[in-house]
Structure formats: C-alpha cells, structure tokens
Amino acid sequence: MTANLPNPPGSSSQPNNRDIAPQLRNLLIVLVAIALSVSLFIGLRTETTTASLNDIAENSTPLEVALNNGKPTLMEFYANWCTSCQTMAPTLESLRTDYGDRLNFVMLNVDNSKWLPEMLEYRVDGIPHFIFLGADGQAIGSAIGEIPRSVMAENLTALVDGVTLPHAQATGQVSTVKAAIEQPRQNSSDPRSHGAQVVN
C-alpha cells in the first residue's frame, strides 16, 4: 500500500500554464466546429426555393410561340446583373403560378444582342421592362421597374379578361440599360469598322 506523500519540493498540485494552453485551444476548435456545423445545418434547412432569373427564363414561353398561340403575353426585358430584376423575380414566379395557364410569360435578356430589335421597338432603356401584349400580339401597356405585385396582378387580370389595363404605364425603381448601339465611326482607318454599329 502506498502512502500519501506530500508533493515533492518544486512540484505543484495545480496544472501549469503550459498544460492549459493546448486544452483551451482544443476546446476552442471544438466549439468553432460545432458552431459551423449548426450554421450549415440551419442554412440548408432554411434554403429558399425562390427561382432565379435563369430558372424563370428557362421556363418561360419562347417569344415566337407567344406571338402565335392566341394567348395574351407578359414580356419582360431583364438582365441577370439587374438588382431590380432580381427583386421582382419572386413576384414574377408567383404571378406565373397564378396566371400561367391563361397567358404567356416571356423573358428577354437585354445582354443578348438577339433581342436588340425588340429593345428598340419597345424603347427599353431601363429594366425590368414589362410589356403587356394582347392575344393578337399587339402591345397594350407597359410597366417599368419594381412594380408591386398587386399592380401587376390587376394588369394581368385585365389582360386575361381583354379589358383596359388599370395601370397601363406603371413605373418603379429601374436599372439603367447601357446603350447597345453606337453611332458609326467617321474617318476610321480600320476598313472593317465601317459596319460595326452594335457594341458587344
């Protein structure tokens, strides 16, 4: 049986600072790991299902189909970089859910030069720019910028019913579209530049 002997001289019953530092560091690492795991878990569980502009565009009706299928159309000029367009995306997706069986939803990206003729026709200089087309494909109203859902819904209901739009010229906060056309250059020494009017 061993006897309890007093601590030898120079030793202490309390741990010294060299023993505590690694324990504190390990405890801190464990706490940070737990916090990150909880944050990741909560973040994944609360992930929104709101569609992005690309998702909405992929599910939209092609312009050629919309102009020929006999349904009224809501056409939106947008860009992925446009914060106002991003703000309107959940509203647009909600409206598409409510009205999609009765009218076409068309998305035209202003960064695609393919839509330049339409941008010029409808004088698009700010986005989002919404054009309301009757069943015959003719424009009967427009809305520019961040428009409240109630205003858009009233316009879409009128569009489906074939009556005058209550808010035919609504406006809200917009993102400015950079000019896609520049004037022809005069006295250019580059012979290939004479036809370059569209800026890429």
DSSP 56-102: HHHTSPPHHHHTTSSS-EEEEEE-TT-HHHHHHHHHHHHHHHHHTTT
Looking at residue 39, its pLDDT comes to 73
| Tokens linked to 132 | 């309301």
Answer yes or no: is pLDDT of 7 > 60: no
63 belongs to the catalytic site: no
d(C-alpha 64, C-alpha 82), whole Å: 25
pLDDT band at 32 (very low <50, low <70, confident <90, very high): confident
Where is pLDDT greater, at 1 or 111? Answer: 111
Which of these is catalytic: 82, 107, 124, 144? 82
Answer yes or no: is pLDDT of 12 > 60: no
Do residues 89 and 156 share a domain? yes
Residue 58: inside a domain, yes or no? yes
Answer yes or no: is pLDDT of 40 > 50: yes
Looking at residue 88, its pLDDT comes to 93
Do residues 109 and 28 share a domain? no
Do residues 131 and 69 share a domain? yes
**Which residues span the domain enclosing 130?**
53-176
Task: Give per-residue burial for 143-157: e unless 16+ CB within 10 Å, then b.
Answer: bbbbbeeeebbebbe
Which of these is catalytic: 67, 74, 85, 124? 85
Q: Which one-letter amino acid corresponds to residue 57?
A: A
Residue with tokens 């012979």: 191
Residue 140: inside a domain, yes or no? yes
Residue 182: inside a domain, yes or no? no
- Are the C-beta atoms of residues 184 and 132 closer than 8 Å to each other? no
Residue 3: inside a domain, yes or no? no
Query: Residue 53 burial (CB < 10 Å; 0-12/13-18/19+)?
Result: buried
Looking at residue 119, its pLDDT comes to 95
Looking at residue 8, its pLDDT comes to 55
| Tokens linked to 52 | 């992005």
Residue 165 belongs to domain with CATH number:
3.40.30.10
Residue 189: inside a domain, yes or no? no
85 belongs to the catalytic site: yes
Q: Tell me: the pLDDT tens digits for 178-188?
A: 655 444 444 44
Question: What average pLDDT does this structure show over 4-25?
Answer: 65
For the chain, what is the domain count?
A: 2
Do residues 147 and 88 share a domain? yes
| Radius of gyration, CA atoms only, the chain | 31
Share of the chain above pLDDT 90, in %: 54
Name, in order, each residue with C-beta under 8 angstroms of 118's C-beta and a sequence gap of 6 or more: 63, 77, 108, 124
Residue 112: inside a domain, yes or no? yes
Looking at residue 189, its pLDDT comes to 47
pLDDT, mean over the chain: 80
Q: Tell me: the pLDDT tens digits for 54-101?
A: 889 999 999 999 999 999 999 999 999 999 999 999 999 999 999 999
Q: Which one-letter amino acid corresponds to residue 43?
A: G
Identify each DSSP E strand in the chain by its residue range.
73-78, 104-109, 126-127, 129-133, 139-144, 169-171, 175-176
Do residues 136 and 42 share a domain? no
Looking at residue 47, its pLDDT comes to 43
Do residues 161 and 96 share a domain? yes
